[in-house]
Amino acid sequence: MKNNKVTLLGAGLIGSLMSIYLRRQGLDVKVYDKRPDKRKTPFTEGGRSINMALSTRGWKSLEECGLKDKVLPLAIPMYGRRIHDEHGGTTFAPYGKEDQAIYSISRGGFNQLLAEEAERLGAEFCFDHKAKDTDFRTQEITFETPEGDKVIQSDVIIGADGAYSSLRMSMQKQIRFNYKQEYISHGYKELTIPPTEDGEFAMDPNALHIWPRGKFMLIALPNPDKSFTGTLFLPFEGTKVCFDKIQDAGDLTSVFKAYFEDAYQLMPDLTEEFFRNPTSALINVECYPWVNGQSLLIGDASHAMVPFYGQGMNCGFEDCSILNGLIEKYGTSSWDMVFEKFQKIRKDDTAAICQMAMDNFVEMRDTVADPKFMLRKKIEAKLHELYPKDWVPLYTMVTFTDIPYAEAYAQGKLQESIMDKVMSNPLITENWNKMDYEEIINQLDSAKAV
Ligand SMILES: Cc1cc2nc3c(=O)[nH]c(=O)nc-3n(C[C@H](O)[C@H](O)[C@H](O)COP(=O)(O)OP(=O)(O)OC[C@H]3O[C@@H](n4cnc5c(N)ncnc54)[C@H](O)[C@@H]3O)c2cc1C
């Protein structure tokens, strides 16, 4: 029986979903989190995003756990980006086909739903337990608790304790552990666009709003209470517009009036919120191996990415689904073998999405506003419409399918090189609708054959 007892570190989104999967397999699950119980004290976001985009990979895992219908009422579909220019004009760019959407969901409520579902299925949660260190020889975890340090032993440990994972730090002390982290130059701050006086959404609720301004940007996602959560991404320092140079209400107003005038008109509490809310950093973490004996890292603990593809949570949910499939297939008599297979399957895919998330930052804050970029998207959409199996835009592969990320990335690179050639035609703007689309598909086929 001892191999059926699993200790999970972290009751965040990934730890909570993993505990649901494990309980559904009939395993004994105990989840430890450093935070106080979110269900007894109000959930504080602690520097994490307030809402986030849920897409196909995430939904697939929720469906496997029978949770789709419970989650849907909490989620607002966003069918595309609404791009705001500097003069208050907007353009809508669909994410995919008409019915394809990503869904805005509040982190706190969603996390609570998952933790409660896990508990209902019999998972045991221990809050106020901060993992300090894990000894892989004895599989003992030392926790800091309000009552003092506590040591527990567990044959199977899964670390879903986020980007600053304690389990990963213990692995780092072992030999031949590869680890790489990078803080990007930008940070973020969350701000609110409240409902109008009539209690309505102040902007189109079924879009992800984006104010791309070259080196920086503002985005906003809708909430069920008819507010939007805006996220301002700026460099910390060193540029004309950066967090360091916004020291008082005057600095703030001039930045917002110059670059985000239409949003500014909708943000009555901007100054108060800006100086009250934290400015958070953005980190990319990659490491390997994720396994030490019968201990494993999943979610952000093994691959924390910047948020520009909206995939961190979706990717972590996919981790849970894949791990669950392996446990189903191989059973629980040899966890190290299951964990070994998991990391082999997953490593290239998570490296690919970490890279794509970095690349997408430039697209979101800059190229998305370029008419040539819009045209490129239109041509790709047309190719996809005419040849739905042969040409699938990269965003569609990542967001609306479960094609392994590494495969999507490789296919995306081939398509990108062909599109670069297509777009280099000086008459493309006039002639895009009369092009020989079949010829483009032939070029893709030849590129794939190489
Ligand atoms: C600004 C921003 C926007 C984002 N938007 C999106 C999006 O739109 N779509 C998307 O898919 N992803 C998005 N993400 C990524 C997403 O937030 C993460 O990928 C996701 O939260 C990872 O979940 P996790 O459970 O692995 O880690 P976390 O959410 O960090 O949870 C870790 C849990 O472990 C606990 N913990 C930490 N250390 C310890 C310890 N030592 N002992 C015990 N417990 C511990 C924490 O209290 C926490 O409950 C965004 C991220 C950011 C920063």
Strands 28-32 and 124-126: parallel
The type of residue at 149 is D
Nearest of 449, 444, 329 to residue 391 by alpha carbon: 444
pLDDT of residue 62: 98
For ligand 1, atom 19, name the residue with the nearest CA.
312
The type of residue at 130 is K
Is residue 298 packed enough to be buried (19+ CB in 10 Å), middle (13-18) or exposed (0-12)? buried
Whether residue 44 is predicted with pLDDT greater than 90 in this model: the reply is no
Whether residue 47 is predicted with pLDDT greater than 70 in this model: the reply is no
Q: Ligand 1 centre and the CA of 12: distance in Å?
A: 6
Strands 303-304 and 280-288: antiparallel
Pocket test for ligand 1, best of 8, 60, 161 (most atoms within 8 A of CB): 161
The first and second tokens of residue 24, run together, are 């559904």
- Confirm if 14 and 31 have CB atoms less than 8 A apart: no
Question: Positive or negative, the Cα torsion across 267, 271, 272, 277?
Answer: positive
The first and second tokens of residue 195, run together, are 């409902």
- Give me the mean pLDDT over the 267-274 stretch: 97
For residues 203 and 220, what is the distance between their CA atoms, to the nearest angstrom? 10
- Give me the mean pLDDT over the 415-434 stretch: 93
Query: Which atom of ligand 1 is the closest one to the Cα of 299?
Result: 26
150 ligand 1 Cβ < 6 A = no
131 ligand 1 Cβ < 6 A = yes
105 ligand 1 Cβ < 6 A = no
Reported confidence tier of residue 367, pLDDT bands at 50, 70, 90 = confident
The first and second tokens of residue 387, run together, are 């040849």
Contacts by 388-396 with C-beta closer than 8 Å and gap 24+? Answer: 390/441, 390/444, 390/445, 391/415, 391/440, 391/441, 391/444, 393/96, 394/356, 395/95, 395/96, 396/95, 396/96, 396/100
Question: Positive or negative, the Cα torsion across 312, 313, 314, 316?
Answer: positive
Q: Mean of the per-residue pLDDT values for the chain? A: 94
Reported confidence tier of residue 40, pLDDT bands at 50, 70, 90 = low
Q: Which helix (H) or strand (E) holds 94?
A: strand 90-94
10 ligand 1 Cβ < 6 A = yes
For residues 303 and 290, what is the distance between their CA atoms, to the nearest angstrom? 10
Q: What is the dihedral of CA 130, 135, 140, 146, to 10 degrees?
A: -20
Query: Which atom of ligand 1 is the closest one to the Cα of 10?
Result: 34
Pocket test for ligand 1, best of 8, 35, 52 (most atoms within 8 A of CB): 52
pLDDT of residue 30: 98
For ligand 1, atom 31, name the residue with the nearest CA.
12
pLDDT of residue 1: 42
Q: What is the 3-state secondary structure (H, E, C) of 291-320?
A: EECCEEECHHHCEECCHHHCCHHHHHHHHH
Query: Which atom of ligand 1 is the closest one to the Cα of 300?
Result: 26
Strands 156-159 and 295-297: parallel
- pLDDT, tens digit, for every residue of 141-181? 999 999 999 999 999 999 999 999 999 999 999 989 999 99
For ligand 1, atom 38, name the residue with the nearest CA.
161
- Confirm if 322 and 330 have CB atoms less than 8 A apart: no
Residues 6+ apart with CB under 8 A from 101: 77, 78, 79, 95, 206
Whether residue 213 is predicted with pLDDT greater than 80 in this model: the reply is yes
The first and second tokens of residue 34, run together, are 């450093």
